[in-house]
Amino acid sequence: MTTTHILGYPRVGEKRELKFALEQYWNGESDVKALQGVASEIRKNNWALQQDNQLSFATAGDFAWYDHVLGTSLLLGHVPKRHKNGFPDLDTLFRIGRGQSQASCGCSGEAASDMTKWFNTNYHYIVPEFSADDKFELSWTQLFDEINEAQKQGHKVKPVLLGPLSYLYLGKEVEEGFDRLTLLPRLLAAYQGIFAKLEKLNVEWVQIDEPILSLELDAKWLSSFKLAYQVIRSDVKVLLTTYFDSVVDALPTITELAIDGLHVDLASAPEQLSEVVEALPENWVLSAGAINGRNVWRANLVEKRESLTAAKEKLGERLWIGTSCSLLHSPVDLELETGLSAETQSWFAFAKQKVAEVNWLAKALDGDKQAIEYCEQYSQPIIKRQQSTSVNKASVQKRLANLTPADAKRSANYAERSHHQKEVIKLPLLPTTTIGSFPQTSEVRKTRAAFKRGELTQGQYREIIQGFIQDTVERQQAIGLDVLVHGEAERNDMVEYFAENLAGFQTTQFGWVQSYGSRCVKPAIVVADIEREQAITVDWTQYAQSLTDKPMKGMLTGPVTILCWTFPREDISREAITNQLAFALQDEVADLQSAGINIIQIDEPAIREGLPLKSRDHQEYLNWAVNAFKVSAASAKPETQIHTHMCYSEFNEIIDSVAALDADVITIETSRSNMELLNAFEEFNYPNEIGPGVYDIHSPNVPSVEWIEQLIEKAATRIPVERLWVNPDCGLKTRNWQETEQSLKNLVEATHRLRAKLA
């Protein structure tokens, strides 16, 4: 019998139960016992599902209160010095992740740790902070408690643990003059303690995630793997887990490790299978990540079985079947969707269905006739879709085929555009603005929900939303911001909103995926060629502009971000999807400026996230990603100022491409990292205007005037003040009005002080 397992399961619950429990706790509306009760029920259901689908193991340790990297930090007793206050507990974890634990604590809290993207996904993790005197000691029992919990429920448990090298690699030094890799011996001692506890719990296999093996590691990191896995070797068998790209480059290192098996991602890199099978040591198992954990398309199980047959024949029971990566990147349950047509629903598989796919594929590989017949029947909808004419549109295909370099060029260079924009827009030194969204209150959300349920007419809905817009505009004017936004009350999500208004997408009711903490997103699905059938944002933006003499900024989401934050088709390239989106946005830009909107922001927070993991593949991606953005903006006249926004991205390695976007103004996240991201601009003479974020909107902490002032002054040492903007680091939809207004008042006050100094 083929061994079956998954690398992890969504921890938010079928209907985001964990999200709501977390937020109730943070708001002081519930206690720890209630929060833990919700989490326990989610884990119980997740393990039961794996057992019901006859998986060989139930995966434990994949649950996280905020994110799994932060959970690893607590497990290792590795807490930033500013958050150390006795024995770490759940409140410690929340303070590290978000700056404070509960609103009821009555304190502003210490600064939250830095947050960044988990490889090339839209999941975020809290970055570990390393100092030369760091110590590691087991002081957080969550992993062992959950193993116990699962075993008591009758499950054979395979724990999952982030590996020591990946944990170190994904962190950062917070003091100069030392290399965090020198901490490895101390860290390995803590891992030895973990393995000793796993032995006492009678764990047979442990899944150790080392996703950095899919990167291009330098020699010092690669060579450290052999030492690490010799030191932590125990009687517990180790399945070394890799994902998101091929590990062929690292195979010579991997095959020398003191481990018992290797997992590879065959969804991201199917071509690696033959080389991995050939190199696999005789006593190892190979876990084939055949079921895609990062997309929602139903697997062609016939094709999967055929591709694995040779490996099965060679390896026999040493071939395991699993998901390509953790299913935390997938929505939970397709069965909850009641608004999809039968045909459309037959194309998809969410996390629950993917667990079943693992089981059926393994049985088919074992030669089970019923399973083989089931796989053939199950795969028919996805096979038939490949020949469907409804997904390919002649008009879109023609426009794409005629794409030329001229379609990506604006009519004037930046210097000429800047001159025109100064004359038309007339902004002061250090102009202040926000990134786009304002607090999405319960009233705003209830209004949208009521309209969707048909409880409001179009006219009633329009009137209410206009009221929210008017309120947002009046608040901004009272605060004294220079460039206003309409607040996006009509938008549920910066990507889903456009997906709902562009042909070629399918949206869902419960397709929620965790981004970090309690923050969930509901990615749309690209199901056909994309086109804009009518204007999307013009009406709302034009109304907002009618309420004020100050410039109103139009808000669009860029083509690469829409691509990265949706589930893409698998039958055409990502480049083709992005270019389809770019043409649709180009038409929207043209309509906005025709309606009198002279500032238009095309957000691209995901452009860094979309990079392939290996640097040798970067330039090809960057070429078409940058070109798609430029196609989006190409219809803008010289006097129309194009902004873009990027957040939680390391810019150093793509700074040339960031400049090549040729946006008139770029706004970026820098507050949480204390302007560290501006280091990318020290040696690179960024030619256009830039707004380094001075207000961390992912924390409830209100920044002081003095804090904002020193951040702006720090930014001015790298960027000429005449090209600096002042703004938060991201949209404000997740904050409340009290926090938002006080923070923005402080932002404006700090700016006025600096203008007075510079006058």
Between β-strands 503-506 and 525-531, what pairing exists: parallel, antiparallel or unpaired? antiparallel
Number of other CB atoms surrounding residue 749 within 10 Å: 16
How is residue 157 written in tokens?
Answer: 């448990």
526 φψ region: left (φ > 0), alpha (ψ -120 to 50), beta (else):
beta
Flag whether 519 is marked binding. yes
324 conformational bin, left if phi > 0, alpha if psi -120 to 50, beta if neither? alpha
Q: And the tokens for 488?
A: 């996006």
| 291 marked as part of a ligand binding site | no
Closest CA to 267 of 398, 361, 189, 151: 361
The single-letter DSSP state of residue 596 is T
Distance of alpha carbon 469 from alpha carbon 367, whole angstroms: 62
105 is in an annotated binding site: no
**Is 106 annotated as contributing to ligand binding?**
no
Question: Who contacts 613 (Cβ-Cβ below 8 Å, separation ≥6)?
Answer: 119, 120, 214, 215, 244, 245
Residues 480, 749: Cα–Cα separation, whole Å = 9
User: 3-class secondary structure for 443-456?
Assistant: HHHHHHHHHHCCCC
What are the residues whose beta carbons fall under 8 Å from the beta carbon of 528, sequence distance 6 or more? Answer: 390, 391, 392, 393, 503, 504
From the DSSP assignment, how many helices (H) and strands (E) are in the chain? 26, 20
Distance CA 672, CA 110 (A): 11
Asked if residue 565 belongs to a known ligand binding site, the reply is yes
436 is in an annotated binding site: yes
206 DSSP 8-state letter:
E
Question: What distance lies between CA 250 and its chain's CA centroid?
Answer: 26
Bridge pairing between strands 172-173 and 129-130: parallel
- Rounded CA-CA distance 381/338 in Å is 18
Which of 283, 353, 362 minimizes the C-alpha distance to 318? 283
Active site residue 68: no
**Which among 234, 282, 289 has a CA at the least distance from the CA of 267?**
289
Instruction: Provide the token pair at 636.
Output: 């803008």
Separation between Cα atoms, residue 81 and residue 66, nearest integer Å = 19
Identity of the residue numbered 484? L
**Does 437 show up as a binding residue in the annotation?**
yes
According to the annotation, is 730 in a ligand binding site? Answer: yes
Angle at 428 between CA 426 and CA 431, to 5 degrees: 105
Sequence-ordered list of residues with C-beta below 8 angstroms from that of 458, at least 6 positions apart, any chain: none
Neighbours of 533 (CB within 10 A): 9
Cα separation, 380 vs 391, in Å, equals 17
Catalytic residue among 263, 329, 486, 698: 698
Does 435 show up as a binding residue in the annotation?
Answer: yes
56 a known binding residue? no
Which residues sit opposite 161 in a β-bridge?
Answer: 208
Residue 647 among known ligand-binding residues: yes
Q: Which two tokens stand for residue 644?
A: 């873009």
- Outline where 232-340 has alpha helix (H): 251-254, 273-279, 301-315
C-alpha torsion sign, points 60, 64, 69, 71: negative
User: 755: annotated binding-site residue?
Assistant: no
Residue appearing with tokens 């993207």: 117
**Cα angle, residue 446 at apex, residues 440 and 448 outer, rounded to 5°:** 80
Residue 645 among known ligand-binding residues:
yes
Determine if residue 520 is labeled as part of a ligand binding site. yes
Q: How far apart are CA 417 and CA 54, in angstroms?
A: 63
| 19 among annotated binding-site residues | yes
Q: What one-character DSSP code corresponds to residue 654?
A: G
- Known binding residues for L-homocysteine: 435-437, 488, 603
- Known binding residues: 16-19, 117, 122, 435-437, 488, 519-520, 565, 603, 609, 645, 647, 669, 730
Enumerate the active-site residues. Answer: 698
- Known binding residues for L-methionine: 435-437, 488, 603
- Known binding residues for Zn(2+): 645, 647, 669, 730
